[in-house]
Amino acid sequence: MNVPLNPLLQRLQPYPFERLRALFSGITPNPAFSPINLGIGEPRHPTPPVLRDALHAAIERPDGGLAVYPATAGTPALRQACARWVQRRYGVALDPDTQVLPTLGSREALFALAQVVIDPRAFASGQQPIVVCPNPFYQIYEGAALLAGAQPWYAPSDPARNFAVDWEQVPAEVWARTRLLYACSPGNPTGAVMPLDEWERLFALSDRYGFVIASDECYSEIYFRDTPPLGALQAAAALGRTTFERLIVLTSLSKRSNAPGLRSGFVAGDAELIRAFTLYRTYHGSAMSVAVQQASAAAWEDEAHVQANRALYRKKFDRITPLLAQVLDVRLPDAGFYLWAGVPGGDDVAFARALYAQYNVTVLPGRYLARDVGGHNPGAGRVRLALVAELDECLQAADRIVRFVRAAAPIPTPPSCPNQP
């Protein structure tokens, strides 16, 4: 093609699902089994009536509906509903006019935020600014860094601490160039929740080096312990950081309310960042439809459906985790809807391929969710299982995985694994 395009597009990595498609190409899965997909983390419980009904009603309302251009900042009613939710959930008081901004889910906001924060000309020496992210991680962080003209830096994680990021291992010269840090708590893929002392360390680093922290919290409402996951706003408030300096939190209805198709979330935190983000989004054109805003406000105000949703996940994880623990290195995560399981033999790619071929179950090789650093890929040897389908289907999948591992002849390594980094 001769059209001159943004060369940074060439630096984007194939998305994990593209790599999975390439891995499975040419395989005809065993026709004795119906397909079960644990590869994609798309919520599949039904969207609750409280949200669906509000959306129907909103479309009919003359002041809502589809006949008006929405404002980038959203309606006061939605921002207030979001702030009330933060108050109930985290005990943190926000000013809905300056510290809250609706977004179209968290993915686009994670990406767009880098456009606001990163100045690609930041360093006269020609050094690129750095965006630090966990490893393994949600791939949007990397794409956001690359397209903003920054260099992603993959922070080492510690398998012995359930892949918690070891921030101490990030060198001072990296922090000195860091402009943005993505944290993910509860984490995808590990489900690990960051404790208060980890937040304290990160805030201290942000104070010293001046970088922005973007805290991705879209799994916060699906948890398996008695105490709900700590949020970054809550951690900041507990540490006396009441203006949330350089902190922005991203959350979403996709998982909390089983509404990935609604495209609704919000960001909250530092008023200066929110103001700049609102300006950026005015030009980007990412305002939320008023009808979607009205449905979203109804969803944020209701906790009954969230409790019911959590109960479904708890039941599922209680049943499935011990079954899989018979054959895989797996345990109940703190939160989220993934199991992050070590596979026998340690070859996640070969495991996923053979499981698909023999039992028609799709799982995601862990190395597709991480990057090689120093010749080591922290996702290697693990697979991510998204327990998003109904219980029966997940039970069937678990049963097949147990049979697969027990029956396993040594798993053959495919002759060439496409798209290995």
Ligand X SMILES: Cc1ncc(COP(=O)(O)O)c(C=O)c1O
Binding interface with ligand X (CB under 6 A): 41, 105-107, 138, 184, 188, 216, 218, 252, 254, 260, 265
Q: 106 vs 278, which CB is nearer to ligand X?
A: 106
Least distance to ligand X, CB of residue 405, Å: 26
Nearer to ligand X among residue 260 and residue 365 (C-beta):
260
Instruction: Work out the number of other CB atoms within 10 angstroms of the CB of residue 44.
Output: 15
**In this complex, which beta carbon is closest to ligand X, that of residue 72 or of residue 254?**
254
CB atoms within 10 A of CB 204: 12
Q: At its nearest, how many Å lie between ligand X and the CB of residue 221?
A: 12
Nearer to ligand X, 43 or 129 (CB): 43
What type of residue sits at position 320? I
Q: For residue 248, list its beta bridge partners.
A: 214, 269
Q: Which C-beta is closer to ligand X: that of 107 or that of 177?
A: 107
Q: How far is the CB of 71 from ligand X (least distance, A)?
A: 21
Rounded to the nearest whole angstrom, what is the least distance from the CB of residue 188 to ligand X in the complex?
4
φ, ψ for residue 153, nearest 5 deg:
-130, 120
Is the sign of the CA dihedral 188, 193, 195, 200 positive or negative? positive
Cis peptide before 189 (omega within 30 of 0): yes
- Tell me the closest approach of the beta carbon of residue 287 to ligand X, in angstroms: 16
Closest to ligand X by CB, 26 or 285: 285
Least Å distance, CB 217 to ligand X, is 9
Shortest distance, position 41 Cβ to ligand X, whole Å: 5
Residue 312's Cβ-count burial label (10 Å; 0-12, 13-18, 19+) is middle
Strand partners, 164: 158
Is 80 or 106 the residue whose CB approaches ligand X more closely?
A: 106
Cα gap 112→102, rounded to integer Å: 13
Q: Label residues 69-93 b or e (16+ Cβ within 10 Å = b).
A: ebebbbbeebbbbbbbbbeebbebe
What are the strands of the beta sheet with 100-103, ordered from one edge?
100-103, 265-269, 247-252, 212-216, 178-184, 130-133, 151-154
